């Protein structure tokens, strides 16, 4: 028997589950099909983000930071605590509990919005039909038909021929969130977002961490000045970041990994106890559709969509990591809302120029909009204001003075084109820049806005003042 819905969503990650809830809010009879199962074999909503991405990584970042502070920073505040010890099992159990609370929360939201949760693997067929196989099911599955179909199958870790995964010794990000003990020496291939966040976790917990990064420049996605400061800070924390390193191969011997890599200095070898492969993620389109469905993908497996996430098949949409743009949970969720509202006949759009990015290291790195180097390379004349956290009273009071805020404005119109920052709580501060840019603010608009004292936000205010050469809390050098 064929089941019928107004909307079927394939994938229950932050793109898919948000789309499903919004569709239901708009009165559509909605089903969400998801194949995720946790380590115990239980079905779980939330996709990569809740189960093995954003949430567990942030739980461990928080716990490891507290441990590190107790060992290294409390004394600076006059707090003495001897005998600080790590209980990794308890830390992992807490992380698992946070994940379970949130994934069960999504199941509760589905129930309250009357979204039907179908557990199993879905494949798109022609004529807006979907075939669902329960776990491991072979043969003909259950058939579902819908007026509109939203594809949100997410992404999976990219593999590397030179470093194939091997049990719990060579792992991807999921394995790196599950180590049962702190590796004495940890290798990471890729000094991108995952490499830096998970490298920070294990470094704080006691590992020696070596990151091998293929590119000769560090963190090319953010502003060069911010990236330079980040490299200095991470190196000072003991992260051994080796740029321009090309891994040639690795061998597992007696639970250790021997790596061979090459850089400008020649051939090198490195032995580590665990190796994390963190070289990016690829769209999860494997077995998502039958060829007769004629869904258009590019050569990387990215589903082709227009600015409103419409695929080449009328009535079929794709959102989240499986389409163009940054692989970020909030970008996927906003696409989910947009598509749901468009199906309901509304004219919702997304401003892709104001998608914020955050790297949850210490200090945190966050940005929105264009970097100075990207603007100059494109021939845009811009003015820049920078304010260091070392001149912020609040940062000094809390003992976190590393970093800066950089505001970049168009030289002719003064419109803010980008804000890049590294420092304390930048994951929260960046929202102010997103709001400013969403409302097309100028740096003068920000300069004229009042900020509470003493707050870290004042650094954003001062950086905006600095665009016009008039920050209050920076000593004047030379003539204006």
**Distance of closest approach, residue 268 Cβ to ligand NAD, in angstroms:** 13
Other C-beta atoms lying within 10 Å of the C-beta of residue 77? 10
Q: Contact region for ligand NAD (CB under 6 A) — 107-115, 356-364, 443-451, 462-470?
A: 356-364
Binding mask 275-314 for ligand NAD (x = CB under 6 A): ---xxxx---------------------------------
**Closer residue to ligand FAD (CB): 42 or 246:** 42
Q: Which of 222, 164, 165 is CA-nearest to residue 192?
A: 222
**Closer residue to ligand NAD (CB): 226 or 327:** 327
CB contact at 8 A, 10 and 288 = yes
Contacting ligand NAD within 233-272 (CB under 6 A): 247
According to the binding rule CB under 6 A, does residue 22 interact with ligand FAD?
no
Q: Contact region for ligand NAD (CB under 6 A) — 66-74, 210-218, 345-353, 407-415?
A: 210-218
CA distance 336 to 151: 10
69 to 240, 442, 478: CA distances (angstroms): 21, 38, 40
Residue with tokens 């716990």: 63
Q: Is 330 a catalytic residue?
A: no
CB contact at 8 A, 413 and 390 = no
454 binds, among ligand FAD, ligand NAD, none (CB under 5 to 8 A by kind): none
According to the binding rule CB under 6 A, does residue 152 interact with ligand FAD?
yes
According to the binding rule CB under 6 A, does residue 13 interact with ligand FAD?
yes
**Distance of closest approach, residue 16 Cβ to ligand FAD, in angstroms:** 5
Catalytic-role residue among 308, 330, 453, 461: 453
According to the binding rule CB under 6 A, does residue 383 interact with ligand FAD?
no
278 binds, among ligand FAD, ligand NAD, none (CB under 5 to 8 A by kind): ligand NAD
Q: Contact region for ligand FAD (CB under 6 A) — 73-81, 324-332, 418-426, 471-479?
A: 324-332
According to the binding rule CB under 6 A, does residue 177 interact with ligand NAD?
no
Contacting ligand FAD within 82-141 (CB under 6 A): 121-122
Q: Contact region for ligand FAD (CB under 6 A) — 30-38, 88-96, 306-314, 384-392?
A: 30-38
According to the binding rule CB under 6 A, does residue 211 interact with ligand NAD?
no
Task: Report the residue from 19, 212, 250, 322 that binds ligand NAD according to the rule CB under 6 A.
Answer: 212
Q: Contact region for ligand NAD (CB under 6 A) — 64-72, 174-182, 185-193, 438-446?
A: 185-193
Residues within the interface to ligand NAD (CB under 6 A) = 160, 189-195, 197, 212-215, 247, 278-281, 326-328, 358-360
Indicate which residues carry an active-site annotation: 453
Residues within the interface to ligand FAD (CB under 6 A) = 10-16, 33-36, 47-49, 53-54, 57, 121-122, 152-155, 173, 194, 284, 288, 320-321, 327-330, 332, 360
């Amino acid at each position: 028997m064929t089941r019928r819905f107004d909307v079927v969503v394939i994938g229950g990650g932050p793109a898919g589950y948000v789309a499903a809830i919004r569709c239901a809010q708009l009165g559509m009879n909605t089903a969400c099909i998801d194949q995720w199962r946790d380590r115990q074999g239980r079905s779980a909503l939330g996709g990569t983000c809740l189960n093995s991405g954003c949430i567990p990584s942030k739980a461990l970042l928080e716990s490891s930071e507290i441990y590190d502070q107790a060992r290294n920073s409390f004394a600076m505040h006059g707090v003495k605590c001897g005998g600080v010890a790590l209980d990794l099992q308890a830390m992992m159990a807490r992380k698992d509990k946070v994940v379970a609370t949130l994934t069960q929360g999504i199941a509760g939201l589905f129930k309250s919005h009357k979204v039907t949760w179908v557990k199993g693997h879905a494949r798109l067929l022609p004529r807006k039909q979907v075939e669902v196989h329960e776990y491991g099911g072979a043969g003909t599955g259950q058939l579902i038909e819908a007026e509109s179909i939203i594809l949100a199958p997410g992404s999976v870790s990219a593999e590397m021929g030179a470093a194939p995964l091997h049990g719990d010794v060579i792992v991807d990000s999921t394995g790196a969130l599950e180590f049962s003990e702190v590796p004495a020496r940890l290798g990471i291939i890729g000094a991108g977002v995952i490499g830096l966040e998970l490298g920070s976790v294990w470094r704080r917990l006691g590992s020696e961490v070596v990151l091998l990064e293929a590119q000769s420049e560090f963190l090319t996605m953010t502003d060069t000045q911010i990236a330079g400061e980040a490299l200095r800070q991470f190196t000072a924390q003991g992260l051994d970041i080796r740029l321009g390193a090309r891994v040639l191969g690795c061998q597992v011997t007696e639970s250790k990994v021997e790596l061979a890599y090459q850089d400008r200095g020649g051939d090198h070898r490195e032995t580590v106890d665990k190796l994390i492969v963190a070289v990016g993620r690829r769209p999860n389109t494997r077995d998502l559709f039958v060829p007769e469905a004629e869904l258009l993908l590019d050569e990387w497996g990215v589903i082709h969509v227009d600015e409103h996430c419409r695929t080449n098949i009328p009535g079929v949409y794709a959102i989240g990591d499986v389409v163009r743009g940054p692989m970020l949970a909030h970008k996927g969720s906003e696409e989910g809302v947009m598509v749901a509202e468009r199906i309901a006949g509304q004219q919702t759009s997304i401003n892709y120029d104001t998608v914020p990015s955050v790297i949850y290291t210490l200090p945190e790195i966050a940005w929105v909009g264009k970097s100075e180097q990207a603007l100059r390379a494109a021939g845009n004349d811009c003015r820049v204001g920078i304010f260091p956290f070392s001149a912020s009273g609040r940062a000094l009071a809390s003992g976190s003075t590393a970093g800066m805020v950089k505001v970049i404005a168009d030289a002719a119109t003064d419109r803010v084109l980008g804000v890049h920052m590294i420092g304390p709580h930048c994951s929260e501060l960046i929202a102010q820049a997103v709001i400013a840019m969403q409302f097309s603010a100028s740096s003068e608009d920000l300069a004229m806005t009042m900020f509470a004292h003493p707050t870290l936000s004042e650094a954003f205010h001062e950086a905006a003042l600095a665009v016009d050469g008039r920050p209050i809390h920076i000593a004047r050098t030379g003539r204006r």
